[in-house]
Amino acid sequence: MADKFPYERVVVTGGAGFLGSYVVAKLRQRGVENVFVPRSKEYDLVNLTDVKRLYDDTQPDLVIHLAAVVGGIGANRVNPGKYFYDNLMMGVQLLDEARQRKLKKFVATGTICAYPKFTPVPFKEDDLWNGYPEETNAPYGLAKKMMLVQSQAYRQQYDFNSIFLLPVNLYGPRDNFDPESSHVIPALIRKCVEAIDRGDDHITCWGTGVATREFLHAEDCAEGLVLAAETYNQSEPVNLGAGFEISIKDLTEKIAALTGFTGRIEWDASKPDGQPRRCLDTARAEREFGFRARIGFDEGLRQTIDWYRAQQPR
């Protein structure tokens, strides 16, 4: 790690969000005093005028672009057009404006949804273009993936330093627990805790439970992002993951046990499973900038459950 973080003025789009809050904390730990977090009510990053105003107001030398319009399977099915347009326009305009203003570096975060639906496990970065993404989240995944194309094209033509990182599914304290838009871990935690509070004898979960996922604690992901911002200067995409795979059925049983829910778990197979399997090859991140996940999965789940319970009204 460098003795001093090499950038002095950093914009973190999405810095007030779940992952962003951890990234901002990591930057401050490294002594970065000028960290700017644009709020959506002040800057609509889908709007080029607002993007230009953000750069005028903050004069960054580094942008870490985390902002996204995103949700779980249900939200993706309802909003494919919005998720495509908003995410595409944010990425394209932020990156192009950074290039025109000759910023020192741009860190783009993609999504695991960018991988083909049937990707050999573990997912290697070289497999990114070997098929179409899983249909329910393809518009979102492809919109984010365009930043990889742009990053590589801009490095080739303009020698602009941008990088593209692919975090796997995240979880941890401060996650989104809204039942309309949450991802699987917070959704299951909420389901189990509410069932306990109501005295229900069962919970019903989407799909069959056979699909697999990999999960990375948001604090680990933030460390990977900041390490890459410090030291990685190539446009080849890099996975950020924990390097393990768990079925949704096993995950549900684990969360039920950790929350203390002892009722039945029923499966609604009429609902989609999403991508059949997800597990990343994480060798490139370790090789290129020394990143490895540190927080154990059970430990991280306990932290997340405790945080959620602490938010409940007494």
- pLDDT score, position 2: 46
115 is catalytic: no
Domains along the chain?
9-174+215-243+276-295 (3.40.50.720)
Angle at 113 between CA 277 and CA 194, to 5 degrees: 75
Question: Of 43, 140, 232, 308, which is the active-site residue?
Answer: 140
Token pair 């709020």 is found at 39
pLDDT in tens, 47-74: 999 999 999 999 999 999 999 987 766 7
Q: CB-based burial of residue 214 (10 Å sphere; 0-12 exposed, 13-18 middle, 19+ buried)? A: buried
Q: How far apart are CA 190 and CA 78, in angstroms?
A: 22
Indicate yes or no: pTM above 0.85.
yes
Residue 68: Cβ within 10 Å count: 21
pLDDT band at 312 (very low <50, low <70, confident <90, very high): confident
Q: How confident is the model at residue 3 (pLDDT cuts 50, 70, 90)?
A: low
Residue-wise pLDDT for 127-176, tens only, equals 999 999 989 889 999 999 999 999 999 999 999 999 999 999 999 999 99
Please return the burial class of 40, using the count of CB atoms within 10 Å of its CB with bins 0-12, 13-18 and 19+: middle
